[in-house]
Each structure stands twice: as C-alpha cells, then as structure tokens.
Amino acid sequence: MVRPDSRSRILAAATPMFARRGLNGVSVRSLASAAKVNLSMISYHFGGKEGLYAEILKKQFEGFRYIDDIAKRDLPPMEKCEMYLRGTIRRYRENPYLLRYYVSELTNPTPCFKTIVRPTVQRVLKVLRATIDKGISRGRLRKTLSPADGTLALAGMINFYFLVAPAARGFVDDHPGRDEELVNHFMDILRGGIVA
C-alpha cells in the first residue's frame, strides 16, 4: 500500500470538507493541512480552490449516470419508477456526499451550477417525464396525471428523505437495512395513494 500522491490526497480530504461546509466555508489552509500537503499544492494541481471544487463536483455528479440506464431500457413505467427509486437510494448510499453538493448548488449556486448542475438535473427530470408521458399514452398511468408534477413528486419524496435525514434523527431510523422497505412504501403510495 503506497502512500497516495498529493493530488489524490487533496481530493480525498477536500471531498467531505466541501460537502459539509460548502465552498466558502473551507479555506485552502485547512484543506492543505487535512490532506497533509503544502498549501501551494492546491494551486499547483488544480489552479486554485475553485478549480479543486469544480473537479470534485464534476466527479460527484457522475453518480447521476445511472439515469441513462433507465432511459435506455424499455420497461413498464412503474418498473422504471422503481428503478429510479432504487438507483437514487443506491447513489446516496454509495456516495454520502453527493446530495450535499447537489442541494448546496441548488440553494447557494457556484459557477458550476450552470455548467454541471442544471444540465444534470434537467437530464434526470427529462428521463422521468418521458417515462410518465409514455405510461400515460399507453394507458398504464392515469390520464389525469400531470407528467411534470408527477415527476417532481417522485423525485421529491426520495431526495427529501435523504435531505432531511440529519434533522430527522429519532423520526426515522434511517439505515441501509431498511432500504427495501422504503422502496416498497414509496411504491405503494405511487400505486394507490395513501387513502384506505
């Protein structure tokens, strides 16, 4: 096991720090000290703090690629919804920082918002909407369903679940072991609502 080079060490140390405190909440000094590199290394490798942030954000957003699998497949709409729920849960379990970068960019956008964040969000929404559109036209989903609002409801329930988790301690006992249950609960709501 060789010691990772300084570039990798910077990326590894910076990823959780930016996630927790945002671009403006982290100084190059604290980055360098956490990564155990000289502070000039950040400029050397990434051209400055913002360059480092942009590189990390770009890498984080590759976690959204699973949406393309959903787009390609020809499956009934409810199965695609389930794929989306499972893919989203998996994405956040595998990478606990992605949601923070994502939401942080939505509320306090950096220059990366236009180049990386918005195009990705639009892509995800577009795929989900196409699924719903097709489901309606094929008679699988009810024809009074609004494709746009339905998409946002679907994306909202699962994303908000992870977003609010840190403030919901004691409300849900969130852990990977209940993911299957979570998918089933949300799918039940999509299938038949909440009414008896």
Angle, nearest 10°, between helix axes 77-94 and 179-192?
Answer: 150
Residue 34 contacts DNA per CB under 7 A: no
Give the integer Cα–Cα distance in Å for 196 and 182. 19
Residue 95 contacts DNA per CB under 7 A: no
Give the integer Cα–Cα distance in Å for 102 and 155. 13
Residue number, 75 or 189, with CB nearest to a copy of itself? 189
**6, interface contact from DNA, a copy of itself, none, CB < 5-8 Å by kind:** DNA
126 Cβ neighbours under 8 A, 6+ residues apart: none
**Given the rule CB under 8 A, which residues bind a copy of itself?**
20-25, 78, 99-100, 103-104, 106-109, 113, 117-118, 121-122, 125-126, 129, 132, 139-146, 148-153, 155-161, 163-164, 166-172, 181-182, 185-186, 188-196
Angle at alpha carbon of residue 151, lines to 182 and 162, rounded to 5° = 35
Residue 5 contacts DNA per CB under 7 A: yes
Residue 64 contacts DNA per CB under 7 A: no
Residue 40 contacts DNA per CB under 7 A: yes
State the first-to-last Cα distance of the chain, in angstroms, to the nearest integer. 58
* Interacting residues toward DNA by CB under 7 A: 5-7, 26-30, 37-44, 47-50
